[in-house]
Amino acid sequence: MKISKLVGKREKETPSGATLKSHILMLRAGYIKQVAQGIFSLLPPTQRVSLKVQNIIREEMNRVGGQEVLLPVVMPRELWEMSGRYSSIKNEMVRFKDRAVHDMVLGMTHEEAAVHLAMNNIKSHEQLPFMIYQIQTKFRDEPRSRGGLIRVREFTMKDGYSFHATQEDLDAYYTKVYEAYKRIYKRIGFKKFVVVEGDNGMMGGKVSHEYMAVTPAGEDSLVICENCGYSSNMEVASSIKSENDNTVKGEVTEVFTGNAHTIEEVCAFLETDQLHCAKAVCYEKETDGKLVVVFVRGDQEINEMKLQKIVQSELLPTEVEKFGLFAGNIGCLNLNVPEGSYVLFDKTLQKLENFVTGANKKDFHIKNVSMSRDLPNTEYVDVCLVKPGEKCVSCGHELSHTRGIEIGNIFQLGTRYTKAMGMKINMPDGSEKEPIMGCYGIGVGRAIASIVEEKADDKGIIWPMTIAPWHVHFCPIRIDDENVAAVSEELYKKMEKAGIEVLFDDRNVSAGVKLTDSELMGMPIRVVISPKTMANSQAEVTIRETDEKLFIPINDLISELKMMIEDEINEIEKSL
């Protein structure tokens, strides 16, 4: 490709409104153009990257027996009524009436369509397991699209759906896809990604995993153990908390604490520390307005995601007075709450002795409370956030906190959709059974933006060889020189003939412009020739990622480049 004809221009300035590195660089390098909020056109280099990423995904899905299909973007209401999601999904899903006044939706996911395709086409357990997948445009009316391709409304997604006769079969297949996903991200070029468990909690949640690109630009908080590899989304992370001095010191005693209501004020007033307090955090359930009181150690914070799962409801702030409680003086002894309220004790209280808590009486707290003595049969739950400095539950090593972008997820769906839609298969014993499903998603654009986040430097994008729009950015300097022009044209043709994908900067512009553009655009290898290098019959080859420079005889250039490209791709293949 000659850059003089490439559709897209390079910009020096940071575009207004863009804050994420990938968003800024992809705009500046002429890779994307915004059409509306969260809706982008992809310029030619990005589409080249996208096709390569799609091919990697396709190869890995085919390797685990996936069968590629194409499900519709526009679907009739009836299909979504069958699963109950027509009403349960709110306005992220686009709805419209077609010319025959039928209600239609734009697919934001395709569980219903996948079951619709499979049912009647698959009747016997012998045909299971199978997985169908597609790579296709989806539209999700995100309220908070942001950051270029990181969070958009329209996107290209690979979504796959597997069907199984038994849970064991799903488990085995799920593990295969789990590994296939790791191969995909490695092949795309991710060095920093982790897999975190999703909602696999105590409340009968289903098995799921999220693949996270680790980057400060991420929206998700992650907890990672660099020793044993434990990694978790903050929403569900656990840790070993610091312990405190846990000896019983004396009798329960009521003390006046007056206007001291916050944990800091109470500790200061009573000259104790937060490790020796049980504080109350209160909410109201969104579903039925019931009170939720959670007691945690004074230094801890509530993980509302965990709590919501326990009480099976969204949580709202509340005014405790309407439940007969005194804000700032709520305690775990002698607590009176309305029937149907939740009263929960976090695990951090499990061994707590000699602590302070509210007296459930205006302006008073009590001290010297002991869990084992005063509340002996308490059940504990895990509802705390993991805090800096805490230890890994697997190996005891100190945990790191970081951020991540979700670049994929896999999920055991169970029979939710096959039951709802009435898909049944014949089992060996003659009975009928709803197949058990797994589903598997990857957003192509988000993966592309995330790899830019991971690898880019101050000068621009750095593409991994496996997905780079072109392998080589060829910058002849002083192309107005007849000799340079002739050799450039010849080398360009030779590279193309040798199967080297090359972006040829054929413009008659300064070396500065060419080199700056090449750094911004991020091809893995840059080749420069100029009157000076040609005087030594050499080309200057620069590795974009390391800035390493090599001088290679022009006669060896093509074979050397081919080897460099193959070596880099082979290295990734070997690491799988």
Rounded CA gap, 408 and 444, in Å?
9
Min dist CB 94 to its own copies, Å, is 6
Min dist CB 11 to its own copies, Å, is 10
Half-sphere exposure of 88 (CA within 13 A, CB side): 6
Min dist CB 365 to its own copies, Å, is 47
Rounded CA gap, 154 and 427, in Å?
40
Closer Cβ to its own copies, 61 or 282, answer by number? 61
Min dist CB 5 to its own copies, Å, is 6
Min dist CB 55 to its own copies, Å, is 10
Rounded CA gap, 210 and 182, in Å?
11
Min dist CB 441 to its own copies, Å, is 18
Closer Cβ to its own copies, 117 or 475, answer by number? 117
Closer Cβ to its own copies, 63 or 549, answer by number? 63
Min dist CB 78 to its own copies, Å, is 8
Rounded CA gap, 214 and 181, in Å?
16
Other Cβ atoms within 10 Å of 502 Cβ, number: 23
**What is the C-alpha R_g of the chain?**
30
Closer Cβ to its own copies, 127 or 516, answer by number? 127
Closer Cβ to its own copies, 95 or 397, answer by number? 95
Min dist CB 466 to its own copies, Å, is 19
Min dist CB 14 to its own copies, Å, is 17
Rounded CA gap, 133 and 154, in Å?
19
Three-state SS at 300: coil
Closer Cβ to its own copies, 62 or 253, answer by number? 62
Token pair listed for 553: 């005889």
Closer Cβ to its own copies, 46 or 518, answer by number? 46
With beta carbons less than 8 A apart as the criterion, state whether 193 and 405 touch.
no
Closer Cβ to its own copies, 72 or 414, answer by number? 72
Helix spans in 388-471 (H): 416-421, 444-455
Closer Cβ to its own copies, 358 or 441, answer by number? 441
Closer Cβ to its own copies, 19 or 37, answer by number? 37
- Pairing of β 39-42 and β 66-68: unpaired
User: Which amino acid, residue 78?
Assistant: E
Helix spans in 199-319 (H): 263-270, 304-311
Min dist CB 73 to its own copies, Å, is 5
Q: How far from the centroid of its chain's Cα atoms is residue 360's Cα?
A: 43
Rounded CA gap, 178 and 161, in Å?
13
Closer Cβ to its own copies, 69 or 554, answer by number? 69
Q: Which residues bind its own copies (CB under 8 A)?
A: 1, 4-9, 30, 33, 35-37, 39-44, 46-48, 50-51, 65, 67-76, 79, 91-92, 94-96, 98-100, 102, 104, 106, 113, 116-118, 120-123, 126-127, 130, 132, 134, 136-137, 139, 141, 143, 153-154, 156
Q: For residue 49, give the nearest of 524, 557, 542 by alpha carbon.
A: 524
DSSP H or E segment with residue 410? strand 400-414
Rounded CA gap, 31 and 8, in Å?
7
What is the length of the chain? 576
Min dist CB 98 to its own copies, Å, is 5
Half-sphere exposure of 21 (CA within 13 A, CB side): 19
Angle, CA 444 vertex, CA 443 and CA 448 arms, to 5°: 120
Min dist CB 142 to its own copies, Å, is 9
Rounded CA gap, 65 and 458, in Å?
42
Closer Cβ to its own copies, 9 or 351, answer by number? 9
Closer Cβ to its own copies, 30 or 198, answer by number? 30
- Classify residue 7 as exposed, middle or buried by CB count within 10 Å of its CB (0-12, 13-18, 19+): exposed
Min dist CB 99 to its own copies, Å, is 5
Q: For residue 196, give the nearest of 162, 172, 223 by alpha carbon.
A: 223
- Cis peptide bond prior to 129, omega within 30° of 0: yes
Give me the residues paired with residue 476 across strands. 529
With beta carbons less than 8 A apart as the criterion, state whether 244 and 404 touch.
no
Buried b (16+ CB within 10 A) or exposed e, 349-359: beebbbbbbbb
